[in-house]
């Protein structure tokens, strides 16, 4: 859209990020869509975030706040974007929104199904002017059938999908997950769909309409739990921190703190028992196989806990990992970030430059040939409105929608 700071060249690369020639008109709000477009923006896409006069809801979701008062929720999913304010009730603003959709390579939205039709911003209307557009819709429960009328809130989907029935103490109430897990999944699934559709467009020249719903993402993302019912006729229920198909695979007490033990196979269990000084337990026919241990967990538990009580959590972390048995402490978010730093994962990056730089969380992928960019801090409301309007007033390059 406009001149950008070139991405630094990296070994094996030419300094060009893979999505630098892609313009995304982002009509999405809150989490799923903005998370998807931020990931794409990190890889070079020009993301134009369209907001109403009141701005994205997450701008007001506080606390917590950054030191400058900006919502950390909003900041977590909106770097590398340009913000324009457009009021669809205003004819001039609506025409600007339509011109943007007609110029974009990708349009992403999470309005209620059919909600953009009256503005001429639905897929059919946009594709009439921009036939090669990749149009990505995110809904709560799909755009067809009775689910189309339900608003798509992650908490509702956590409840209705069955996730909450799996989360919490078996004797207590259902619990939501600590993050909006299906919003994140739907954002990731949308990202996969957009990239697949762009790849197909490279070959065919055809656009596409992609839909991801939180409920469909839940059905897929619950993986073994949904398949327990679909494939085995079993309805899983919450087991606290226990795993339905593995034991030990949960927090376990030591001489001081609880520690996570994750024995995923017989070899790991044998090594676990050797470290605990009870190698004979791994050879006991009652516990020798994964299924036997799982079915007899209540018989095995006191044996393991007695042996664990002779070790501290720190000792076990070192000794078990040294022999290839997964083990880890239960950290706070602060401790988790600090540990990622100890591992050399460099989880914290500076977004922007100079006095305007702000901290952010690193893009989750690493590449041998390029580095994701961290050029633009999360934009202020309408910060780039005039810049985008000026760009839209120019003619697109020949042979390009953008």
Catalytic residues: 183
- The number of distinct structural domains making up the chain is 2
| Residues 93 and 136 occupy one common structural domain | yes
Q: Are residues 157 and 278 in the same domain?
A: no
Overall average pLDDT of the 178-195 stretch: 98
What is the rounded distance in angstroms from the CA atom of residue 190 to the CA atom of residue 183? Answer: 10
Q: Decide: 107 and 22 in contact? Cβ < 8 Å.
A: no
- What pLDDT digit, counting tens, does each position of 311-331 carry? 999 999 999 999 999 999 999
Q: For residue 213, report the phi and psi dihedrals to the nearest 5 degrees.
A: -120, 150
Name the DSSP class of 256.
S
Residue-wise pLDDT for 86-136, tens only, equals: 999 999 999 999 999 999 999 999 999 999 999 999 999 999 999 999 999
User: Do residues 299 and 263 both lie within one domain?
Assistant: yes
Q: What is the pLDDT of residue 6?
A: 38
Distances from the Cα of 3 to the Cαs of 7, 23, 158, in angstroms?
12, 13, 42
Q: Look at residue 104 and tell me if it is in a domain.
A: yes
**Strands across the sheet containing 106-109:** 81-85, 46-51, 23-27, 106-109, 134-139, 208-213
pLDDT value for 152: 87
Nearest Cα residue to 361 out of 60, 78, 61: 78
Q: Is 185 exposed, middle or buried (0-12, 13-18, 19+ CB in 10 A)?
A: buried
> Could you read off the pLDDT of 200-232 as tens digits, one per residue?
999 999 999 999 999 999 999 999 999 999 999
The answer on 57 and 149 residing in a single domain is yes
Q: Is residue 216 located within the same domain as residue 186?
A: yes
- Which among 228, 236, 200, 196 has a CA at the least distance from the CA of 212? 196
- From the list 30, 19, 335, 290, the residue with the least C-alpha distance to 155 is 30
Tell me the pTM: 0.91
Q: Which domain holds residue 74?
A: 23-223+349-392
138-151 pLDDT, tens digit per residue, is 999 998 888 888 88
Cα 48 to Cα 151: distance, rounded to the nearest angstrom: 25
Read off the pLDDT band of 64 (50, 70, 90).
Answer: very high
pLDDT at 279: 97
- 143 and 279 inside one domain: no
CATH code: domain of residue 270: 3.30.1540.10
Average pLDDT over residues 154-169: 96
């Amino acid at each position: 859209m406009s001149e950008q700071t070139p991405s630094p060249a990296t070994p094996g690369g030419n300094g060009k990020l893979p999505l630098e020639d892609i313009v995304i008109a982002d009509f999405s709000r809150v989490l799923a869509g903005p998370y998807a477009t931020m990931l794409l923006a990190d890889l070079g896409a020009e993301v134009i975030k369209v907001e109403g006069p009141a701005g994205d809801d997450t701008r007001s979701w506080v606390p917590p706040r950054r030191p400058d008062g900006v919502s950390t929720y909003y900041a977590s999913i909106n770097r590398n974007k340009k913000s324009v304010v457009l009021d669809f009730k205003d004819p001039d603003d609506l025409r600007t929104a339509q011109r943007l959709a007609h110029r974009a390579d990708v349009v992403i939205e999470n309005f209620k199904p059919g909600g953009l039709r009256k503005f001429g911003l639905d897929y059919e209307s946009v594709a009439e002017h921009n036939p090669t557009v990749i149009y990505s819709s995110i809904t709560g429960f799909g755009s067809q059938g009775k689910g189309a009328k339900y608003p798509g809130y992650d908490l509702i989907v956590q409840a209705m999908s069955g996730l909450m029935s799996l989360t919490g103490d078996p004797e207590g109430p259902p619990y939501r997950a600590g993050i909006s897990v299906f919003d994140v999944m739907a954002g990731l699934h949308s990202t996969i769909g957009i990239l697949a559709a762009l790849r197909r467009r490279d070959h065919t020249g055809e656009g596409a309409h992609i839909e991801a719903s939180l409920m469909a993402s839940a059905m897929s993302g619950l993986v073994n739990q949904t398949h327990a019912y679909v494939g085995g006729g079993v309805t899983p229920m919450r087991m606290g921190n226990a795993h339905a198909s593995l034991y030990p695979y949960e927090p376990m007490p030591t001489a001081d703190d609880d520690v996570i033990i994750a024995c995923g196979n017989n070899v790991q269990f044998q090594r676990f028992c050797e470290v605990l000084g009870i190698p004979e337990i791994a050879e006991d026919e009652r516990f020798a196989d994964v299924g036997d241990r799982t079915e007899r967990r209540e018989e095995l538990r006191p044996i393991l806990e007695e042996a664990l009580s002779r070790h501290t959590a720190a000792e076990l972390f070192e000794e078990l990992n040294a022999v290839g048995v997964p083990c880890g402490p239960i950290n706070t978010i602060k401790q988790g970030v600090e540990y990622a730093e100890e591992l050399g994962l460099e989880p914290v990056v500076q977004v922007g430059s100079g006095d305007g730089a702000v901290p952010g969380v690193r893009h989750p992928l690493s590449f041998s040939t390029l580095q994701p960019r961290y050029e633009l801090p999360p934009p202020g409301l309408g910060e780039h409105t005039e810049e985008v309007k000026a760009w839209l007033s120019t003619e697109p390059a020949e042979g390009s929608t953008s």
